[in-house]
Structure 1
Amino acid sequence: MKKWILAAAISIAISGCAHDVKTSSSLPQGVTLIETVGVSDAVSIPYKKYLLENGLTVILHQDNSDPLVHVDVTYHVGSAREVEGRSGFAHLFEHMMFQGSQHVGDEQHFKVVTEAGGTLNGTTNTDRTNYFETVPSNQLEKMLWLESDRMGFLLPALTSEKFEVQRETVKNERAQRIDNQPYGRLNERFNQAMFPEGHPYSWPVIGWPEDLERATVDDVRNFFKRWYGPNNATLTIGGDFDEMQTLAMVNKYFGELARGPEVKADPKTPVTLDETRYISMEDKVHLPLIYMGFPTVYARHEDEAALDLLANILGGGKTSLLYKNLVKDGFAVQASVGHPCQELSCRLTLYALANPASGTDLAKLEQKINDSIVEFEQRGVTDDDLQKVKVQFEADTIYGMQSVKGKVSTLAYNQTFFDNPNMVASDLARYASVTKEDVMRVFKTYIKDKPMVVMSVVPEGAKQLIAKEDNFTPVTQSVADVAVTGTENVRQITSSFDRTVMPKAGAAPVLKVPKLWNASLANGIEVMGTENHETPTVELLIYLDGGNRLPEIEKAGVASLTASMLNESSQKRTTEELAGALEMLGSSISFGATSTQSYIQVSSLTENLTPTLAILQEKLFSPGFVEADFERLKQQEIQGLQHQESDPNYLARRAFSGLLFGEDTHFSVQASGSVATVSALTLDDVKQFYQTQYKAGNAQMVLVSDLPQQQVMSELSVLEKWQGSANKAEALPTFPTLAGGTIYVIDKPGAAQSVIKIGKRALPYDATGEYFKSFLMNYPLGGAFNSRINLNLREDKGYTYGARTGFNGNDVIGRFEATASVRTDVTAESVTEFVNEIKRFQAEGMTDKELAFMRSSISQGKALEYETPYQKAGFMRMIQRYQLADDFTEQQADIVATISKDELNELAKAQLDLSSMIMVIVGDKTVISPKLEALGYPIKEIK
């Protein structure tokens, strides 16, 4: 397999060296070439590394396979740079960086990137904050203008008003992602016990609520001054660009920015525990969970690789000890082991979700886990243990090279934390060199008989299920007098040129739509494929029409359960033997089901396609259908469904679908079914569904590979023995009449937020007709970040972390939906804003500016749609499933360019009639009801 990785690296390196290489003497003044990594014997991502006089590191990776560029700016600052009692600044500041700068208007960052046809985001973790955009290649200069302006000129535009809105947005994000989610507070509670008082990992990245409240706008200003200098940043650009032209632009926009305060690395102080710490919490959950952790080393420590292998042996999938002892034996619904590493500290974590059907409390589950650790010591490390992990690491390296973003992210990470982007080869080498003795050594050093943190999360009122009484209480943290220090000498520069002038886009890039081929197997299965030489991989997707729509409604969930059974044993080998065989190949085969189809996804290195397809045949044509597997998977499915009952988003989706399509139709039940329907399923039901669904006549295939058509079709010929005719399509049921204007409330006592859904039945999917045009119409209303709905509820009001509207449809049904998770105290106000925005848009339609924005954004965004094998496969599947012309995207482009505002506004009048829409709200009824009742709509409660 190593030769394939090397082949991939060489292929990428060749594309990266397609432009003329300039000597350092031709570089822009103030730019220094540090190193060049190109074609070599080592496995690597080719790049050139430069340094500007102000300390900004610049990494350029050329890849002209697609007409796009990915720009990443990573600042070496995360929540670990905060001080005690002043948490949340790094993440809050990420939000502030999207609010406009001195030369970029308020909320224009999202608008500019979206209008350019790009995507963007920012993320914060303990150790770094990054901002990134993927755009058509002709938009590169515009991205450099945006990123440089907020790096050098954010403060003049940072107002108290913006700060307050973003503080509310962060509160909403915390409520949505942590407080309103089952097990949402697990990590922050666990970290308090794992790390000593004052350790920078002992507080959550998003911050403690009280810390967010005490933050001031001056604190945020000082955080920017301290950490956002160019000398604490890495700018990485990957994709299709001219090297010298790009360097000149980088130097123009970033070169004059002032160097910030010096930044030193934080010390990597070992974390130790004096005794095992037990903590617990009650939560709105169905399944008790145990989470255990041992402190270990830090990222790229010499023992990290061996610890990763140890974690995989203990709990890394169906061949692991925890799977065998906990999941396979029915004591847990899920169990896994990981070794997450951060800059300053790593930990080996083990978790299990208890299966209530087994009557197991968390004390027994803890004992099972500890027994598995003892079993590992007695069993030792096998050759297969080492080989499968090493193979998987190498395969993951290849898959990580399938996108420019993946390669850029790797380069940026390695530079930020290790001052060396070129670490792919050394990473492979350090994992390849791990021995059995290394794994046993790190086990004895960091795990055996060592203190740990054991956390129990149990349902409310079920404290008796915890593993052990708490023996640890976190101390009340102190509050630092000053949030940020070291900003005394930071100065604001005056630019040498007019930065208010936004750069013009370059010449439009030539879209590289995949060249498709069509063929059929001897049994009639249609295959659509494309040849792709960026990585030596094969992505095969097999779709079977039917899914949850195929069986009678009383057996909803049998499609999903059958797929789960096909992921288990065959008549020839056990589940563990099959999983091990795939791991040895670096391949994956996954069966699944949706509401309208079953599917099989196969990912393989080209070198291993033949044995991978042999395993596919075994799983597909001779499933084991073992009774013990069925009972275990059925129980897991039931427990998972009951667990979802604690998720307000699930409750809202289920109720909304039931009201739109009727409780007694397939379209109201998710693919996994309900507790009632799954509980009634038998193994015979699974066998019957298998015979009905998994027939060649129901199947179609799409394939992306570096092999030519003739060769790959020869490989697929092993599936020609597959037989069976297609099932007849079922007639659509009669759907219920909607009580338009009615609010349906689902009570969720104590909910941190309310989930709102407003909508109606709408159009089924089409590629060039009214559905597609309605998608264009909705774009400025709620289809983009800077749409009317999101700017109103998130940016202007601070009611939510995000709000959207959109049309969603398949071949037979569709819906229009407006949705958001909002603060409980403004539930009624949020409904009013949704209603007002939709009414206004229906009555008045979009503006000329919104029309131009929509056209620019959607037309230019096509450059990003075909980059990865999975994207190419999705493109082909759309053609195949909906019987579209190969040039349907050209037809869409013509519609986008020529459709009139009047036609779109007429669609708004027809499709956005609020009187035909219903509203579903999941929230704390006692809190939200008084204001909702004052709105004057009919209100019904759903139990």
Structure 2
Amino acid sequence: MKKIVLSAIFGSLLSGSAHAQLSESLNVKEFKLSNGLSVWLNEDHSQPKIFGAVVVKAGSKDCPNTGIAHYFEHMMFKGTDKIGTINYSEEKILLDSIAQKYDELAITKDEAKRKQIQKEINELSIRSSKYVIPNEYDRLISKYGGSRLNAGTSYDCTIYHNEFSPQYINQWAELNSERLMNPVFRLFQSELETVYEEKNMYNDMMGYQALEKVAERFFTPHPYAFPIVGSTENLKNPQLSEMRKFFEKYYVSGNMGLILSGDFKAEEVLPVLEKTFSRIRKGDAPKRDIVPLPPFSGVEEFKIKVPIPIVKALVLGWRGVPANHEDEVALRIAMGILNNDNSTGYLDKLAVDGKIMESKALNLSMNEAGVVGVLTVPKLLFQSYSGAKKLVMHEIDRVKKGDFSDEVFNSLKLEQKRNYIKNLENIDSRAQKMLSLFSEGKSWTDYLNEVKKIDDLTKDDIVKIANKYFTDNYLQVKKKTGNYPKNNLKKPGFAPIIPQNSESKSDFAKEMEQIKTLDAHPRFLDFKNDAKVIQVAPKVVLYAASNPQNDIFTLNIEYGKGTLESKLLSPMATYLNLLGTDSSSFDQFRARLQNLGSTLSFAAEQNKFSVEVSGFDKNFQATVELVADFFNHAKAEPKKMKQVVDEAKLRVKAIKRSPDELANALLDKVRYGDKSEYLNRLSVSEIKKLKGQDLISEFNSIQKVECNIHYCGNIATETVVDQINKNLGVEKVNVPSQTPVCREEKEYKEQTVYFIDDPKSSQSIIGGYIRGGVNNNSSERYQSALFNSYFGGSMSSVLFQQIREFRSLAYRVRATYKLPPYKYSDKNGQLVAILSTQCDKTTDAMGILDSLIKQMPETAERIEIARQDVVNRANNEYPSLRERSLKISFLIKEGYTSDPNKDIIANVSNLDIKDLVNFYNQNVKDRTITYVVVGNSKKIDMTKLSSFGKIIKVKSKDVFK
């Protein structure tokens, strides 16, 4: 069975203000393999890569509160009866015994007996590990062109995905179909401990537990009420036998989909997929009984705890629509009247006018239920919940009464169309849309037809929808300051499970070496031809690129000055996004943009200040003229400075309550001292002293700084240049850029541990820093790329295997040797490591990290995979059409004259273990390590921690402003 959906359908459906011409890359061909597996193929030759994914319509709702769907996803990386083993028949005897022990554990309540069973599982796992080839699946992905390997579990589905070089399509299909046929649950005990670490990480995220409580209250009795990861109690009692039943029920051909988008020919790929993926077990999608949600009865009140004082938060939640519901498109427009891209919505206006601090419409559609809601943050200190709610409900009532103009309605339809089109314009975003559509039970045609649904909507439709869903029956959630107890698990005390065959190959891996590799056609950035480069003024360069995909333009102006040079830029970006002009209020100015289908936003980063504009080509001139009006006549509004101050206050409160942010701030201070980006910013008290005109003056100054302008669209380059010259004041640009700014790294003479005590955290965040050597030649840059892959930058790296895979001491662990910009050949590099672990494992994890940094294991066999990983990343990094000129200008600023990926690929293949060890010896070995730790001192062995260096206790207020 085959169904071909042509892009012409989509083009013919667009009407009104947007007649987008869409390219052939939007064709999606839908097939069924002989076993009933759905296949969606999308050819796009704009980038030399393929995004490949398998979608399984099975998620946490299918195993409520057990976590099976999630930890099954983890186990899918452990291999099969053919992948990841040197002798499966012998290994299976031990694995069967382990599975039996887990069944026994699940029904055992006596704690002493449970510990004995777990000890026996540990002993069996160690014995079975002598047959295991760890990470073989990951290594094979890397060997055959893969990068960005990952997976994810949601309420409704599980998705496995990566991108790969097109010449390896045969190997990718063989490997990923084999993966789904007979997965083996090896190394389960250590992986389950990693899942505990993941759960701890989520629990430490500010507000995560509160969201779980809201979901439980809103969705009960539906399985969406339970967390995806599962409860701590259920995670303590896993059963491999139940996981096997889950696989047999849901991992069948009729319940799965294969998604490919990228550089291939469908007619050539389909026979390959039939040969490989048709081997997957045939079966129909299981029938599901959807649990109905009862309507709310009046206003049902609920309170949650969030550990931020002073700040209030109010959530109003109504029953919404599931995905694929006939009201979905109309409801999206209704929500756009409340919040939209141009901040012209009724709730946006409340925040912009300072009547409340923030208010956002929420619209979430899962496969079996939906949420429509509003999240509101009242003004700090003095605004009551009832006062804020009254304002919000008034705006919702306006929508219900039809109190919005035809102009607003039509502009929102235009905005929706623009967003639909942009979702389809490159491989990554289109593939993500394909994944979500398939998992929701929609077809590609359904998505394309949604544009016609937008066109057909009337104002009356929106009013009916608003009244249908915004009823008097809803859940009202109020925040109070506090913390939920955390179900922390003590470290198990098991012996680490360390397989003995890290460098071995399975028979399957040897057989894969016989599969034919197609011809490679890599692409690299062409600094001269991927974009026209035009010097429109002495210090203004235009990069112009054509857009063959659609008729949406983007215009990005990047001024060569960032937050490392000016502390005013960050609050200035916030402020500018709230302003109008001398002749137009904020509402009027943004409405004019929205009526054109255009957007304007400002952003400040370390090394640039960006102005981002988008819209339809036909309205390019009108849009640029509006932007010019803002540039020349932005009007300061003193009252809106309070919103800038309030945002800064919220930022500070959020950092205080986030272990990750505290660790990042502490690590940045250790690396750069007073030049830390967290310290090199204005404090709340300093922002309070600013006047709006101060920020307008800074905006006028930034417009004089050397800049690059990036246009991507279909307007003739001459016209673009003419509009820039007429409107954007390029003649006044006369200040040379000093970016990229290279901060001086701090050097330490003795090993030290900087420590922030965080009594509420479940995990410790551990960072390590070494000031490396001066890397002033190209060969060291190739060596650093190889070192990163080998040591700490991939799933096959030394750190990942030794800390996560073998010892379960972290969910996330990574180390990167960071180089200064290419032009700064006299500057030092630096090694930066980061990991998170349960607090009582802190010193264990640090011990392994410390030993690996001080004495890197040297394994010649591992080099091949590390080399290929570097090559894959370089091959798969060729940017999408809107990103090409941005990447080119970034590389030129760094000091390059051509794409460095081309040189990396040409040179990395010549490096061997001696080159790697030499780089390590020169830049890492025997250099002083400085550690940072953010964690709960009561759960950390502080005496043992002091063995890693003198402990210097730091207060959180000293690492950020």
TM range (shorter): 0.7 to 0.9
Q: Does 1:127 align with 2:106?
A: no
How far the C-alpha of 1:536 sits from its partner, in A, is 3.0
The correspondence of residues 81-92 of structure 1 with structure 2, limited to 5 A, is 81-83=62-64, 86-92=65-71
Paired residue secondary structure (1:182): coil
Amino acid at match of 2:480: V
Q: Does 1:111 align with 2:139?
A: yes
Q: Does 1:907 align with 2:929?
A: no
Structure-2 change in CA distance of 1:869 and 1:62 (3 Å): closer
Please name the residue that 1:923 is paired with. Answer: 935
Please name the residue that 2:206 is paired with. Answer: 182
Deviates more, 1:701-710 or 1:240-249: 701-710
How far the C-alpha of 1:440 sits from its partner, in A, is 1.6
Q: Distance in 2 between matches of 1:583 and 1:500?
A: 54
Structure-2 change in CA distance of 1:256 and 1:899 (3 Å): closer
Please name the residue that 1:29 is paired with. Answer: none
Q: Does 1:215 align with 2:238?
A: yes
8 Å Cα contact 2:804/2:813 also seen in 1: yes
Residue by residue over 1:183-224, the C-alpha shift from the partner in whole angstroms, topping out at 9 and shown as x without a partner, is: 112332112111232x12111222222222222111111111
Q: Does 1:779 align with 2:786?
A: no
> Which of 540, 546, 552 is residue 555 of structure 2 equivalent to?
540
Q: Does 1:306 align with 2:353?
A: no
Structure-2 change in CA distance of 1:359 and 1:62 (3 Å): same
Residue by residue over 1:152-195, the C-alpha shift from the partner in whole angstroms, topping out at 9 and shown as x without a partner, is: 121xx223xx222232222222222x211111123321121112
8 Å Cα contact 2:770/2:924 also seen in 1: no
> Which of 252, 266, 269 is residue 243 of structure 1 equivalent to?
266
8 Å Cα contact 1:392/1:586 also seen in 2: yes
Q: Does 1:100 align with 2:79?
A: yes
> Which of 516, 524, 541 is residue 526 of structure 1 equivalent to?
541
Amino acid at match of 2:138: F
8 Å Cα contact 1:339/1:349 also seen in 2: yes
The unaligned stretches of length 5 or more in structure 1 are 1-31, 464-494
How far the C-alpha of 1:151 sits from its partner, in A, is 1.5
8 Å Cα contact 1:702/1:873 also seen in 2: yes
8 Å Cα contact 2:763/2:839 also seen in 1: yes
8 Å Cα contact 2:322/2:366 also seen in 1: yes
Q: Distance in 1 between matches of 2:175 and 2:51?
A: 14
Please name the residue that 1:226 is paired with. Answer: 249
Please name the residue that 2:806 is paired with. Answer: 796
The correspondence of residues 309-708 of structure 1 with structure 2, limited to 5 A, is 309-316=333-340, 318-332=343-357, 334-356=358-380, 358-377=381-400, 380-418=403-441, 420-449=443-472, 451-460=473-482, 503-511=515-523, 513-514=525-526, 515-516=529-530, 517-522=532-537, 524-551=539-566, 556=567, 558-567=568-577, 568-663=579-674, 665=675, 667-669=676-678, 673-695=682-704, 697-707=705-715
Paired residue secondary structure (1:800): coil
Structure-2 change in CA distance of 1:742 and 1:891 (3 Å): same
Amino acid at match of 1:537: I
Residue by residue over 1:661-704, the C-alpha shift from the partner in whole angstroms, topping out at 9 and shown as x without a partner, is: 222x3x44367544354344343542443343331x42223343
Paired residue secondary structure (2:812): strand
8 Å Cα contact 1:298/1:341 also seen in 2: yes
How far the C-alpha of 1:579 sits from its partner, in A, is 2.7
How far the C-alpha of 1:257 sits from its partner, in A, is 2.7
How far the C-alpha of 1:743 sits from its partner, in A, is 0.6
Amino acid at match of 2:68: F
Q: Distance in 2 between matches of 1:826 and 1:859?
A: 35
Q: Does 1:886 align with 2:898?
A: yes
Q: Distance in 2 between matches of 1:725 and 1:34?
A: 58
Q: Distance in 1 between matches of 2:952 and 2:533?
A: 53
> Which of 741, 750, 754 is residue 751 of structure 2 equivalent to?
741
> Which of 29, 37, 57 is residue 76 of structure 1 equivalent to?
57
8 Å Cα contact 1:103/1:499 also seen in 2: no
Structure-2 change in CA distance of 1:615 and 1:152 (3 Å): same
Q: Distance in 2 between matches of 1:111 and 1:871?
A: 29
8 Å Cα contact 1:804/1:818 also seen in 2: yes
> Which of 158, 164, 169 is residue 185 of structure 2 equivalent to?
158
Structure-2 change in CA distance of 1:685 and 1:270 (3 Å): same
Q: Distance in 2 between matches of 1:500 and 1:406?
A: 31
Residue by residue over 1:775-814, the C-alpha shift from the partner in whole angstroms, topping out at 9 and shown as x without a partner, is: 3322211122221112222222222221111133554676
8 Å Cα contact 2:402/2:463 also seen in 1: no
Residue by residue over 1:26-55, the C-alpha shift from the partner in whole angstroms, topping out at 9 and shown as x without a partner, is: xxxxxx435554645645942322222322
Q: Distance in 2 between matches of 1:266 and 1:405?
A: 34
Aligned length: 858
Q: Distance in 2 between matches of 1:650 and 1:743?
A: 18
Residue by residue over 1:635-682, the C-alpha shift from the partner in whole angstroms, topping out at 9 and shown as x without a partner, is: 22232223222111111121222222222x3x4436754435434434
Please name the residue that 2:226 is paired with. Answer: 203
Q: Distance in 2 between matches of 1:728 and 1:123?
A: 42
Q: Distance in 1 between matches of 2:213 and 2:581?
A: 42
Amino acid at match of 1:758: G
Structure-2 change in CA distance of 1:502 and 1:259 (3 Å): farther
Amino acid at match of 1:632: Q
Residue by residue over 1:256-292, the C-alpha shift from the partner in whole angstroms, topping out at 9 and shown as x without a partner, is: 3321364225437354112422222323224332222
8 Å Cα contact 1:764/1:810 also seen in 2: no
The unaligned stretches of length 5 or more in structure 2 are 14-21, 85-133, 485-506, 956-961
The correspondence of residues 786-935 of structure 1 with structure 2, limited to 5 A, is 786-808=796-818, 811=821, 815-841=830-856, 846-913=858-925, 915-930=927-942, 932-933=944-945, 935=947
8 Å Cα contact 1:410/1:421 also seen in 2: no
Amino acid at match of 1:158: F
Paired residue secondary structure (2:39): strand
> Which of 17, 31, 43 is residue 62 of structure 1 equivalent to?
43
Amino acid at match of 1:882: E
Please name the residue that 1:491 is paired with. Answer: none
Residue by residue over 1:868-897, the C-alpha shift from the partner in whole angstroms, topping out at 9 and shown as x without a partner, is: 234313421223312421354433333323
Q: Distance in 2 between matches of 1:671 and 1:600?
A: 22
Q: Does 1:726 align with 2:735?
A: yes
Q: Distance in 1 between matches of 2:580 and 2:469?
A: 35
Please name the residue that 1:191 is paired with. Answer: 215
The correspondence of residues 28-67 of structure 1 with structure 2, limited to 5 A, is 32-35=1-4, 37=6, 39-40=8-9, 42=12, 45-67=26-48
How far the C-alpha of 1:378 sits from its partner, in A, is 5.0
8 Å Cα contact 1:741/1:914 also seen in 2: no
Q: Distance in 2 between matches of 1:348 and 1:214?
A: 36
Please name the residue that 1:23 is paired with. Answer: none
8 Å Cα contact 1:828/1:935 also seen in 2: no
Amino acid at match of 2:703: Y
How far the C-alpha of 1:109 sits from its partner, in A, is 2.7
Paired residue secondary structure (1:755): strand
Q: Distance in 2 between matches of 1:321 and 1:277?
A: 25
